[in-house]
Amino acid sequence: MPKAFRGDLKLLGTSETEVGSKDLYLDLLKRCLIADIYDESGWRIVNVNRSKWGLIQYLKNFIIDGLARRGYLIVRTNQFNAELRNEGIDWPCFGYSMTGLQRMNNIEECMRTVLAENVPGDFIETGVWRGGSTIFMRAVLERFDVKDRTVWVADSFEGLPKPLVAQDRDKPQYDLSECNYLKVSLEQVRANFDRFGLLDDQVKFLKGWFKDTLPIAPIEQLAVLRLDGDLYESTMDALTSLFHKVSPGGFVIVDDYWSWPNCRAAVDDFRAQHKLKGEIVSIDKSSVYWRVPIE
């Protein structure tokens, strides 16, 4: 068992063998959720390209749309790249999360820390795609037999919004509002939780745009706030509504800080406005986190 995890024995009150088995479960679950145990997960789904409207592209779109309506997908059989999946850079053909292994490990480390140190509060991700990161959050609570905390699953369940504020409109290349690959329904995400046996009363769903749902969400305290809204507006909406609920000693994780300049700008603006002191730490080439200082 990793040395850093041995403190969990006291928290669990179980034998080292039992702890080892529970950790193996979490490790396997992470790999299933990011789908790095399947070579076919490296394949690429060919989607309609609506940014180009030449005759050849029109014919391609016509064929792809027609097959999709009949229940078929066109895929490009790329070779699986473990390094890309570890960093969460590629988009898996199937699986439940784009976060990659390093970011999954970060979720686990943050949750282990707040549970071991009794930092109060629930756990939330704002922007969940197929639900993989929040499924894993619920699994960590199960592993530690935690019954008094909730995992909040916040998403439009309709894909990304159309860019509205200037910071997002100024970078049209980041407009993914028409990307069907990112549109996953609430019913499908619920079914994904259920598939892993993790759909219960400790999982709560917040459906809608963040500006509408997060200000009125019945969340009292948070131990971990994970942001994956990509856009400036979505990131700012989540921080404005939820950051003040993060307990001292809790964590804020930003999935796309390095990879989406709009997201980074929102985080930097918010931190500057509120004079936040927690040191930003990189997780991988895309993501960062910081810990809310304990005064």
Question: How many C-beta atoms lie closer than 10 Å to residue 137's C-beta?
Answer: 29
State what percent of residues in the chain have pLDDT above 90: 60
Is 154:125 a contact under the CB 8 Å cutoff?
Answer: yes
pLDDT tens sequence across 40-83: 888 877 765 655 557 666 676 777 777 777 877 778 888 888 88
* Local confidence band at 157 (pLDDT 50, 70, 90 cut-offs): very high
What number is the average pLDDT over the span 137-164? 93
CA dihedral 110→114→117→122, nearest 10 degrees, is 180
Q: Which of 2-16, 119-133, 272-286 has the lowest mean pLDDT?
A: 2-16
pLDDT tens sequence across 245-261: 999 999 999 999 999 89
| Cα–Cα distance for residue pair 158/177, rounded to 1 Å | 9
CA quadruple 222, 229, 144, 248: dihedral sign: negative
Domains of the chain: 44-76 (no CATH), 100-291 (3.40.50.150)
pLDDT at 207: 97
pLDDT at 15: 55
State what percent of residues in the chain have pLDDT above 70: 86
Is 91:125 a contact under the CB 8 Å cutoff?
Answer: no
Arithmetic mean of pLDDT over the chain:
87
Three-class SS state of 233: helix
